Every structure is written in C-alpha cells, then in structure tokens.
Amino acid sequence: MSNLNESANAPYNFHEILTHFNIEVLPSSYGNGHINDTFIVHAKPDYILQRINKNVFSKPEDVMENIQGVTSYLREKIIAAGGDPDRETLTLIETKEDLPYYKNENGDYFRLYKFITGATSYDLVENPQQLYHAARAFGKFQNLLADYPAEKLHETIVNFHNTKVRFQNFVKAVNEDAVGRAKDVQEEIKFVLDREADCNVVVDAIAEGRIPLRVTHNDTKLNNVMLDNVTGEGVCVIDLDTVMPGSLLYDYGDALRFGGSSGAEDEKDLSKIWFDMEKFEAFTKGFLEELTSITDEELALLPFSIKLMTLECGSRFLADYLAGDVYFKTHYPEHNLDRCRTQFKLVAEIEAKMDEMNAIVRRLANR
C-alpha cells in the first residue's frame, strides 16, 4: 500500500480527490487508454479512478448522467436474472455528496468504479474465440438495454456516427484542401464520393422508423470487453463514455471493422490487409446468440453496417489528412493516408464478399 505523502509528485491531488469518495489510498497509473487518465487504487476492494477528458467530452455531467442511468438499469436486470452485478456491469461509486463524480477546483472531473477482478481486456485479437466471447457480451449488453428509453440519453459526442454528416464533413475537407494535398489523393477521394448513397442508409432507416433507436455503446473494440481469466468468456462491457442513442448496426459494424481486419490500422503493405471471414463468422455467431431483440431489417443490414463503419472511419482519416492532421494523432506525414487506405481496402473486400456474408448471417439467425 502506497504512502499518501508520495502524492506530492502526482499529477493531481489524489488525497483531496479520494477523500470525497471516503478512500485514503494513493492510486497508480493503470492501462493504456487514449482518452481519459486512468489509475488503480489498491484498497479493499480495489477501484479504478478516472479523470474525464473534457477536450473530448465537453459536458462531463451529461456523460456521467448517461453512465449512472444505464449502469443502474443494468444492475437491476442482472440481479433479476440471478447474475453478479459487481462483475457484469460497472459499479459506480458516488461521492460523499451523492454525486457520480467529483469536480475539483481546477474544473477536472473524476469518477470511481469498483475494479473488476479475475478478468482482462485485450488490445489485439489473438484468436476468433475471443471475438466470439466479446460479441456475446456486446449482444447481451444490447439485449439488456433493449427496453431502455434511448431518447433520454445525452448525445455525448454530437453526430458521432451520423454518416450523412460525416460525408458532408468529408466533402468540406476536400473543397477546402487546407494544406494542398487533394491533388495527390484523387483516387482515394473518388472512392468515398462514389459511395455517398451508402452514407444515407442507416440514418434514413432510423429517421423513418424502419429500425429502432437503441442504446448503443459506440466504441465496440475488443479492449472494451473484460474477458474472464479462466473461461475466456465475456464478463463486462466497459468504457461507457460514448453510450448514446443510435443503432445497434453502429456497434456491430464498428466491432468488425476493427476485429475483422487481418492487420494493423496503419499497415503500409496492403497485401497484408483483408477481411477475415472466420473472425466475421465467430463474432456474428456470438452476437446473434445473445441478441434476441434484433429486427428483420437490422439483421438484413448487419454485413452492410461493417462496410458503412469502415467507410466512415476511412473517410475520417482521409479528411484529417486533407486538413493537415489536426484530429488524429500521427507519427509521420502520411500516417492518416496509410490508415485510410487500409480501411478502403477492407471496404472493397467487404463489397466483394457481401453475398457470402449475407448468407452466413441468414444461416446463423435461422431466418
């Protein structure tokens, strides 16, 4: 156990922060998240302390209201089903003032969760079985929240997966050509412009009531599911900052945009990039085993949603490249360009395999 005097060298006054949660143990850095500052507090039990990044989430109160509402609802559902709410959903610790966060004198927001023991999150997909178990966890997450009033949730990042708006932003970046790069990437620009109609499909289906507005996670990478250290099964969906109203197609599509790729997001050698059908089938199998609330129209759009989320991501990388790399962190001048090219290679692969993917979905769904 650390000595509280060590906090003199810490980035925040941890003693002052944690006394508001009735805890007097100094934390240490934990994990490798890119958005929030995360620390572990070794107490009995252990806790996770996080500072919410206000540069990404401009209204932390809204983020925490969403998380508090969703996790409270999940706890009730899990208890009713005879599960363990302390492992199967995040347990938010309130302050002495009965708030789900503490705001210090500098305007920084901190939250505290119970640490989930006996489980691990993985940054890279090591085998299709991991995707299967992660998919079951995401499917269960969707199922448990199927009746939650999504319209009550705040939009913590406005238009995050609004693909119509994303396309408009892309066209704006092309037209502005802030650093004069457009002339050298005409093929990539045309790739996006040729697929404008795709960007309308899910947004229009929600607006017209053909698919339901749901509670969505919006960051369904493998590392946002805790997998049991013994069984490998999905235990808990974590990182709920981007929980918002949306479509389950966003969650499914983005999970396989990341999990179905054969290589790194910034792989320069495109011969190493393809869409892995074994991973696709493993994830889809797990997702549909748990998600009994899916509609026929959502089911029919599952493979398309992977293409859509991959196209969205690639267009964002390309737009940022055209703007001079102002949003995504880059490590060399062509980094965003390499990223967009891997995504476009995957889009082309998905298009070529769409009939096969649709057949697999129908088989797994028994429809």
Per residue of the chain (367 residues), give pLDDT as tens: 233 333 334 567 888 898 899 887 655 555 554 456 888 888 888 999 999 989 889 999 999 999 999 999 999 999 999 999 999 999 999 999 999 999 999 999 999 999 999 999 998 888 999 999 999 999 999 999 999 999 999 999 999 999 999 999 999 999 999 999 999 999 999 999 999 999 999 999 999 999 999 999 999 999 999 999 999 999 999 999 999 999 999 999 999 999 999 999 999 999 999 999 999 999 999 999 999 989 999 999 999 999 999 999 999 999 999 999 998 889 999 999 999 999 999 999 999 999 999 999 999 998 7
The confidence score (pLDDT) of residue 27 equals: 57
**Terminal alpha carbon distance of the chain:** 56
Task: Assess whether the region 4-117 and the region 128-365 belong to the same CATH fold.
Answer: no
pLDDT, position 272: 97
Q: What token pair was written down for 271?
A: 């011969």
- CA torsion 54→58→60→64, rounded to 10°? -120
The pLDDT of residue 34: 45
Residue 40's DSSP bridge partners are 28, 48
Q: How many helices (H) and strands (E) does the chain have?
A: 13, 11
Q: Which of 213, 211, 190, 223 is nearest to 314 (CA)?
A: 190
* DSSP-based helix, strand, coil % in the chain, nearest 5: 50, 10, 40
Residues β-bridged to residue 49: 39, 112
Give the containing element (helix H, strand E) for 123.
Answer: none
Report the pLDDT value the prediction gives residue 115, as an integer from 0 to 100.
94
Superfamily of domain 128-365: Aminoglycoside phosphotransferase (APH), C-terminal lobe (3.90.1200.10)
Note the pLDDT of residue 228: 97
- Bridge pairing between strands 92-93 and 109-114: antiparallel
CA distance 135 to 265: 20
Question: What pLDDT is attached to residue 30?
Answer: 52
Q: What is the 3-state secondary structure (H, E, C) of 75-112?
A: HHHHHHCCCCHHHHCCCEECCCCCCCCEECCCCCEEEE
Helix (H, G, I), strand (E, B) or coil at 200: helix
Q: Where are the domains of the chain?
A: 4-117, 128-365
Look up residue 210 and give its two tokens: 């053909």
CATH tag, 4-117 = 3.30.200.20
Give the model's pLDDT for residue 1: 28
Query: Nearest 5°: phi and psi at 120?
Result: -140, 150
pTM more than 0.75: yes
How far apart are the C-alpha atoms of 225 and 229, rounded to whole Å? 12
- d(CA 271, CA 297) in angstroms, rounded, equals 34
C-alpha span between 272 and 264 (Å, rounded):
9
Find, among 17, 61, 20, the residue nearest to 39 by Cα.
17
d(CA 220, CA 141): 11
Residue 222 CB partners (closer than 8 Å, separation 6+)? 121, 122, 123, 124, 125, 130, 131, 134, 255, 258, 259
Cis peptide before 60 (omega within 30 of 0): no
Are 361 and 302 a contacting pair, CB within 8 Å?
yes
